[in-house]
Amino acid sequence: PESEFIIDEVTGKIYAQRTLDREERAVWRFVVLATDEGGEGLTGFTDVIINVWDINDNEPVFTCAPSCHGSVAENSLVGTSVMEMTATDLDDSAVGQNAVLSYRIMGSLDGANFHDRGVPSSSEMFTINPSTGTISVAMEGLDREQVESYLIFVEARDGGGLAGIATATIQIKDLNDHAPKFTDDTCAVQISENTETNAEVLELAAEDRDIGENAQLTFSVVAGDQEQKFYIVSHKQEQRGTLRLKKKLDYERHGEQRFNLTLKDNLNGTATLTALRTFDRERQKEFFIPVIMSRLPTTVIGKVFSPDPDEWDNKTYVFEGNVPNYFVLNKRTGFLIIKENTPPGTYQFQVRVADDVWPDAVSSVSVHVRELRDEAIYNSGSLRLADITAREFIELRRGQRSRYDLLGDFLSEMLSVPPNDVNIFSLTDVKDRMLDVRFAVRVGSSFLQPEKMHGYLAAHKQKLQSFLQIVVFQIRVDECPSSGCAGASGCTNVLNVRDTPMVVDCGTMSLVSVTLESTAVCSCPGRDQSHQPCSAYPRNPCFNGASAQLSLRAPSASRTLHSFHGNGYAWFPPLMPCFESHVSLEFITDVADGLLLYSGPLAQLQTWDHEDFMAIGNNTFCLTVIKMTV
């Protein structure tokens, strides 16, 4: 203490030799010696204790300075503790207010910028306990996606007015509070059915406003791909996914396929609809037009096939290359028009389809114009099919050929004629999902009689139904069973030909169907019409020496000689008498037993089929007539 204090030898006063610092040493203690008689006399001792009195000479200092950091999760509730801003003051806390501290937030950086964005400033978002220096959340609305960190200034002031300042950085911790979403609400892509497996089909992009693990995304197909033809590769860190082909595609089975895609992060997910469109640029549109000469007006024959099924697209159709001048194309709708008096033949050309979104597609068009004479119509065969429409009859069925094509092949094989000689020229929808089909078969320069075609079809009905996979309700369309005509009055089927055709369009094929109407008329032509002898007509309608009284509706008669050698037969129209009638036969036989005439079913009967029949035969010099009604 000799360096800090001195004592007056005469008076005993103690003096400090330099400024004392209580914060360095608050108490000094030493011994003072006093002697009399000039140091030669008696001696006394005493202990001296000096307490250094505190003055407010130290400002508060934050323990975390110079870098104070805290963190709090976004969306934290009001009152959530964020960090401790503790300060110290070296002054004596036991004396006065020199070491009693109080805390306050002085302000923040970018406060004005926060207000411009509608975000509360740091001084508004946080509060500090004035006694402890604990910073806590002052209001709701902490959102890391808006503000990742806050920078605030905190002051600690002692009771004597000295203050210390520190800067606190508060980081906002991310919570998984934002669901990811696709960058596009809907996605669409066109893909050829010839695409190889594992090929990239669609690149999917997404975003998640969270960060870190909360923003790692997983893509998956959750609906719409029952056959699992596709799979998705997720690139979690890059927030994208790649849809790839897993199995080969078939346009005929799935012309368009739609998926529900799910996008997931750690906790949340969202879904959007993605349409995936399959197409085949090699598809063609074929138009089949049976032309009744001088009866075909200028007609819309159908719409050009387009691989883009979006009806809302603004598509444009234009001819590509040279096109015969018999056709007109509506550029806006794609409907193809054939002009009046277009000659028979096959016409092929192309149509370009554009929508200003997808690459242009070129559709190949084939128009088959076939002459149809009246003779073919009135000698046509007919079928009534159950539970099918005209459109369903001509459309492709999941990779299989259409029933239109199958029926043509069946008739060609059954009747031993080339396929081009079979002409299915009329499809008519009737009530209760019934379809009337009419066809003509050319043999040389003429046409097969309907009774022969109907007879063959009746004999092979089961095979026909299996081949077409459909129920044949009638062979030879007959309206009389449901007409209500009384038996005595008779009933006649009358076939009317309309001048206006009917178009049946299934997308890839269009049939300009001859419009026919078959109606039942309660009448008996053979009785109701006037009858005249053969000689009364301008041209004799009776052949081979026949003579008859003929009606105007059926002015023909013939006596024809037929010879058979044991295995032959001749087809005739079915007997449909409506009054007392007579059939006469003259015959010479070489054998005792034989069947001369049969009228009735030709195939194995089903429970619901009519079983009436009539047979005339000879049996050991006796003529046998059998008539059975069941």
pLDDT in tens, 73-129: 999 999 999 999 999 998 887 777 888 999 999 888 765 456 566 677 777 899 999
Q: Point out the least confidently predicted range of 519-523, 561-565, 582-586.
A: 561-565
Mean pLDDT, rounded, of the chain: 79
Banded model confidence at residue 614, pLDDT cuts 50, 70, 90: confident
- Which 8-state DSSP code applies to residue 332? T
Question: Mind spelling out the 3-state secondary structure of 33-51?
Answer: EEECHHHCCCEEEEEEEEE
pLDDT of residue 374: 84
Cα 86 from chain centroid?
64
- Is the pLDDT assigned to residue 540 strictly greater than 70? no
Closest by Cα among 215, 228, 207 to 272: 207
- Is the pLDDT assigned to residue 625 strictly greater than 80? no
pLDDT of residue 312: 46
| Contact between 47 and 153 (Cβ < 8 Å) | no
pLDDT of residue 282: 44
pLDDT in tens, 354-410: 877 666 778 888 888 888 888 888 889 999 999 999 999 988 876 678 899 999 999
Beta-strand pair 381-386/361-371: unpaired
- Is the pLDDT assigned to residue 595 strictly greater than 50? yes
| E strand map for 492-604 | 492-497, 502-505, 509-513, 516-521, 531-533, 542-543, 549-551, 557-558, 593-599
Give the mean pLDDT of 294-303.
Answer: 77
Give the mean pLDDT of 6-19.
Answer: 87
- Is the pLDDT assigned to residue 551 strictly greater than 90? no
CA atoms within 13 A on the CB side of 163: 13
pLDDT in tens, 472-496: 999 999 888 888 776 556 788 888 8
Q: Does 181-276 match 61-173 at the fold level?
A: yes
pLDDT of residue 278: 46
Give the mean pLDDT of 56-82.
Answer: 91
For residues 121-142, one letter each, b for 16 or more C-beta atoms within 10 angstroms of the residue's C-beta and e for the rest, the string is bbbbbbbbeeeebbbbbbeeeb
Closest by Cα among 292, 256, 258 to 272: 258
| Contact between 614 and 599 (Cβ < 8 Å) | yes
- Which 8-state DSSP code applies to residue 12? -
Which token pair is 401?
């050929």
Give the mean pLDDT of 286-315.
Answer: 67
pLDDT of residue 413: 92
The domain 61-173 is classified under which CATH number: 3.40.50.280, 1.10.3720.10, 3.40.50.9100, 2.60.40.60? 2.60.40.60
Q: List residues bridging with 624 in a β-sheet.
A: 617
Spell out the domain ranges in the chain. 5-51, 61-173, 181-276, 531-537+556-629
For residues 395 and 390, what is the distance between their CA atoms, to the nearest angstrom?
9
Give this prediction's pTM: 0.52
- Is the pLDDT assigned to residue 197 strictly greater than 60? yes
Q: Point out the least confidently predicted range of 5-19, 82-96, 604-618.
A: 604-618
| Contact between 382 and 476 (Cβ < 8 Å) | yes
Longest distance between any two alpha carbons in the chain, whole Å: 195
pLDDT of residue 565: 65
3-state DSSP call for residue 410? helix
pLDDT of residue 206: 80
| Contact between 384 and 434 (Cβ < 8 Å) | yes
Give the mean pLDDT of 567-591.
Answer: 69
Banded model confidence at residue 552, pLDDT cuts 50, 70, 90: very low
Give the mean pLDDT of 611-627.
Answer: 68
- Is the pLDDT assigned to residue 447 strictly greater than 80? yes
Which is more confidently placed, 441 or 513? 441
For residues 343 and 557, what is the distance between their CA atoms, to the nearest angstrom?
36
pLDDT in tens, 234-267: 888 777 888 888 887 765 555 555 556 665 655 5
Which token pair is 13?
């006063």
Tell me the backbone φ, ψ of residue 563, rounded to 5 degrees: -120, 140
Closest by Cα among 599, 572, 576, 551 to 490: 576
For residues 577 and 575, what is the distance between their CA atoms, to the nearest angstrom?
6
CA-CA distances (angstroms) from residue 171 to 62, 73, 131, 149, 208? 19, 8, 24, 4, 20
Would you say domain 181-276 falls under CATH 2.60.40.60? yes
| Residue 330: partners with Cβ closer than 8 Å, 6 or more residues away | 317, 336, 337
Which is more confidently placed, 122 or 565? 122
